[in-house]
Structure 1
């Protein structure tokens, strides 16, 4: 019925909460959720994906300790 938007970001974020991604990007959690409602520009997708990848690296590093 509804086309899934920003599927790549949704899959990449996994269980990372929106508020953690928002904090990394310096925006409010609601901003991220609003961005997810419409297909993002490539530039915005890149920023969000970089933030997600950085968060995942930090999680992995902390898990290795």
Structure 2
């Protein structure tokens, strides 16, 4: 199973690109990809889920 599976699923279900989520988090796309390589803390996961929700609401 891939790391951060729930984040990957949330991004896929949102219909947005990873770079759009990174932009909402105010981090470079490459930084976001580095975060995805290893399992994140629950706090960071919640921050990303919140960003996904905000991007979805903005549309």
Is the TM value for this pair above 0.5? yes
Give the TM-score range, shorter chain: 0.7 to 0.9
Q: Does 1:54 align with 2:30?
A: no
With normalisation by structure 2, the TM-score equals 0.87
Q: Tell me how large the CA RMSD over aligned residues is.
A: 1.0
Consecutive unaligned residues of structure 1, counting only runs of 5 or more, are: 60-65
With normalisation by structure 1, the TM-score equals 0.80
Bigger RCO of structures 1 and 2 (CA < 8 A, at least 6 apart): 2
* Higher Cα Rg, which structure: 1
Consecutive unaligned residues of structure 2, counting only runs of 5 or more, are: none
Aligned residue pairs, count: 57
